[in-house]
Amino acid sequence: MIIIDGPAELCGEISIQGAKNSALPILAATVLCKGQSVLHNCPDLTDVETAVRILEHLGCRCAREGSDLVVDNAMTGCEVPQELMREMRSSIVFLGAIVSRCGEARLCFPGGCELGPRPIDLHISSLQKLGVEIEEKGGCLQCRAPGGIQGAYVSLSFPSVGATENLMLAAVCSKGTTIIANAAREPEIADLAAYLNRCGGRIYGAGESCVIIDGVKELFGSEHRMMPDRIVSATYMAAAAVTGGSVTLRDVDNAHILPMLSPFEESGCEVRQMGGSLNIMAPRRLMPVKHIRTMPYPGFPTDAQPVVMSMAAVGSGTSVFVENIFENRYRHAEGLQRLGAKIKVEGKVAIVEGVDRLAGAPVEAWDLRGGAALVVAGLAARGRTEIEGVEYIRRGYEDIAGNLALLGARIREAD
Ligand code: EPZ
């Protein structure tokens, strides 16, 4: 449980952790690289621990040295056990890497946050185009590439982040060339390609809609520094915004923040970006965020929708949200309503009428970013907010209570 006694005006400076959604596919990619990889700025999260347990189950050796994670690839296995697959949705991204390295793979349908149905049809159809035979049996995938993986042209019907990553991992050591049309453009895709190219891969255009991958014979481990986590940055910006504070974030990648700036500026915050830092100064009372539509990058990211909804909850007017990426990503509205927010959810649309002040209450997190939204709202609420479901928050945030306490919040974790 996280306990917050609000309200508190946040001010001060914190450093932003490495990106969870870079670390996870890059850890899967180490399966392809012979020898040792040293991953700098690797965040200390339960999702990263899960990925490390998968690597160790496959025979790799992992050791954490501060914010560095060292992976020695001594891979022997090609199966990921059900209990590990169930813990984290993104474990499906191991599929492409394992079947490329071993010629076969056995994984079960992933678990992870419940954000509506999380199909993997694009992952499966894409890998089949590269010659991977995939058989579904009892919720598990039996995959084989008897003749090796053959490059092909794959056009994604939706720019799926995970499917793009799975394709890159399957194609990087394949025969021939793979072209991915309508690839996801999230910055984490470019981070994955940077690591793979440093290991000897030939991936061009990552971060754009068309990615070309010339298969190479083998890859060798290398050093790589994870990019900063843009969603964690947005979370602390929202915390400053709802508390009328002034906060500086260090070690951010300001280019990745740009698609998220509009709601902060619309609500009256002043954001100054300089080099690897960002300062946000909030007004005493936020104005509403007019219209938030989540879209694939470089549109407004779905992962930042929950924490911006917490800002809208205390804005001086009505805000409209349209969630276009996931079917069920408004579960945090229930907790926000418990804190006094006025929110009406109709399918993909949520209408938020700002209130003057939220009131602390016991609430429950149902997913990672929804939990972060409840923390943000608790900082602005008068009185005590107790948030159950901290395990979801720990999946993506390194010591969120410690960081917020550094900024002046009265917050702590309790069993
Ligand atoms: C990644 O998930 C991120 N996770 C998510 O962050 C993020 O919300 C999402 O991309 C969108 O940006 C990681 O990178 C580990 P998608 P992913 O495939 O790859 C549908 C967080 O909080 N779809 O782009 O699962 C899917 O149902 C997490 O850090 C299919 O229909 O996202 C969803 O509606 C939450 N079939 C949409 O596409 C498929 O085969 C976007 O999914 C695959 C996806």
DSSP codes of every residue in 342-397: EEEEETTEEEEE--S--B--EEE--SHHHHHHHHHHHHHSBEEEEEE-HHHHHTT-
Atom of ligand 1 nearest to the CA of 117: 27
Higher pLDDT, 118 or 163: 163
pTM of the shown model:
0.97
With a 6 Å cutoff on the Cβ, whether 326 touches ligand 1 is yes
DSSP 288: P
With a 6 Å cutoff on the Cβ, whether 120 touches ligand 1 is yes
Residue 330's φ and ψ, nearest 5 degrees, are -125, 20
* pLDDT score at 114: 58
pLDDT class of 288 with cuts at 50, 70, 90: very high
CA triple 402-405-407, angle to 5 deg: 120
pLDDT at 113 over 80: no
Contact 296, 324 (CB under 8 A): no
- Of the candidates 33, 42, 60, 113, the residue annotated as catalytic is 113
d(CA 10, CA 312): 18
The answer to whether the Cα torsion of 338, 341, 342, 346 is positive or negative is negative
* pLDDT score at 116: 60
Contact 315, 273 (CB under 8 A): no
With a 6 Å cutoff on the Cβ, whether 24 touches ligand 1 is yes
**Architecture label for domain 20-225:** Alpha-beta prism (3.65)
With a 6 Å cutoff on the Cβ, whether 119 touches ligand 1 is yes
| Neighbouring residues of 355: CB distance < 8 A, sequence distance ≥ 6 | 313, 314, 340, 341, 342
Distance between the two ends of the chain, CA-based, in angstroms?
6
- In 3D space, the residue among 309, 300, 302 whose CA is nearest the CA of residue 352 turns out to be 309
- Average pLDDT of the chain to the nearest whole number: 95
Tokens representing 400 are 């969120």
Task: CATH 3.65.10.10 in the chain: give the residue spans.
Answer: 2-16+228-413, 20-225
* pLDDT score at 112: 52
Q: Which residues of 131-160 are buried (b: 16+ CB within 10 A; e: fewer)?
A: bbebeeeeebbebbbeeebbbbebebeebb
d(CA 96, CA 28): 9
* pLDDT score at 173: 97
> What count of Cα atoms within 13 Å lies in the side-chain half-sphere of residue 386?
5
* pLDDT score at 111: 57
Cis peptide before 362 (omega within 30 of 0): no
Contact 297, 186 (CB under 8 A): yes
The residue behind tokens 């965020």 is: 289
* pLDDT score at 148: 93
Whole-number Å distance, alpha carbon 159 to ligand 1 midpoint, is 9
Q: Tell me the Cα Rg of the chain.
A: 21
Beta-bridged to residue 106, according to DSSP, are 79, 142
Average the pLDDT over 122-138 and give the result: 93
Assess whether 113 carries a catalytic annotation: yes
pLDDT at 380 over 90: yes
d(CA 311, CA 325): 20
Average the pLDDT over 269-279 and give the result: 97
pLDDT tens sequence across 68-80 = 999 999 988 899 9
Whole-number Å distance, alpha carbon 91 to ligand 1 midpoint, is 12
d(CA 240, CA 343): 22
pLDDT class of 108 with cuts at 50, 70, 90: confident
Of the candidate ranges 84-98, 177-191, 207-221, 285-299, the one whose mean pLDDT is the lowest: 84-98
Please state which CATH class domain 2-16+228-413 belongs to. alpha beta
Average the pLDDT over 282-288 and give the result: 97
Task: Provide the percentage of residues in the chain whose pLDDT is more than 90.
Answer: 90
